[in-house]
Chain A
Amino acid sequence: MDVANYLYLSALLFTIGAVGVIVRRNAIVVFMCIELMLNAANLSFVTFSRINGDLNGQVIAFFTMVVAACEVVVGLAIIVMIYRSRRSASVDDASLLSR
Chain B
Amino acid sequence: MSELAMQVGQSAAPEAVLFWILAPLTLIAALGMLLVKKAVHSAILMAFVMVALAVFYIAQGAPFLGIVQIVVYTGAVMMLFLFILMLVGVDSSDSLTESIRGLRPIAITAAVGFGGLMVSLLGRATLGRGAVGVEAANADGNVEAIAQLLFSTFVWPFEAVSALLITAALGAMVLAHHHRIQERPTQRQLSIDRFRKDSLGAAAGLPAPGVFARHNAVDVPALLPDGSPASASINASLKARGDLQNSSIFELGTVDTSASEEK
Contacts and interface: CB of A to CB of B under 8 A. Distances in A.
Q: How large is the interface on A (under 10, 10 to 19, 20 to 34, 35 or more residues)?
A: 35 or more
A63 B154 CA distance: 10
Q: Which of A43, A52, A58, A71 neighbours the largest number of chain B CB atoms within 10 Å of its CB?
A: A58
A88 to B, nearest CB: 6
B114 A15 contact: yes
B176 A80 contact: yes
Contacts of A67: 161, 164
Nearest to B31: A16
Interface in A25-82: 25-26, 28-29, 31-33, 35-36, 39, 42-43, 46-47, 49-56, 58-59, 61-63, 65-74, 76-81
A86 to B, nearest CB: 10
B111 A28 contact: no
Nearest to B173: A77
B208 to A, nearest CB: 27
B146 interface: yes
A8 B122 CA distance: 7
Given A11-B119, A15-B111, A58-B62, A80 B88 contact: yes
A7 B121 CA distance: 11
B85 A1 contact: no
Interface string B74-96: 00110011001101110011111
Nearest to B160: A63
A7 B131 CA distance: 13
B61 to A, nearest CB: 6
A69 B134 contact: no
A50 B60 contact: yes
Contact of A23 (B104, B137, B146): B104
A69 B77 contact: yes
B107 to A, nearest CB: 4
Contacts of A53: 131-134, 136-137
Contacts of A62: 64-65, 68, 146, 150
B65 A46 contact: yes
B85 A28 contact: yes
A93 B99 CA distance: 11
A91 to B, nearest CB: 9
B168 A25 contact: no
Nearest to B50: A39
A94 interface: no
B34 interface: yes
A72 B46 CA distance: 14
Contacts of A69: 72, 76-77, 165, 168
17 contacts: A4-B123, A5-B19, A16-B27, A16-B111, A26-B92, A28-B43, A32-B81, A36-B33, A39-B50, A55-B146, A58-B65, A59-B146, A59-B150, A65-B72, A74-B168, A77-B176, A80-B87
Interface of B: 12-13, 15-16, 19, 23, 26-27, 30-31, 33-34, 39, 42-43, 46, 49-50, 53, 56-57, 60-62, 64-65, 68-69, 72-73, 76-77, 80-81, 84-85, 87-89, 92-96, 98-99, 103-104, 107-108, 110-111, 114-115, 118-119, 122-123, 127, 131-134, 136-138, 142, 145-146, 149-150, 153-154, 157, 161, 164-165, 167-169, 171-172, 175-176, 178
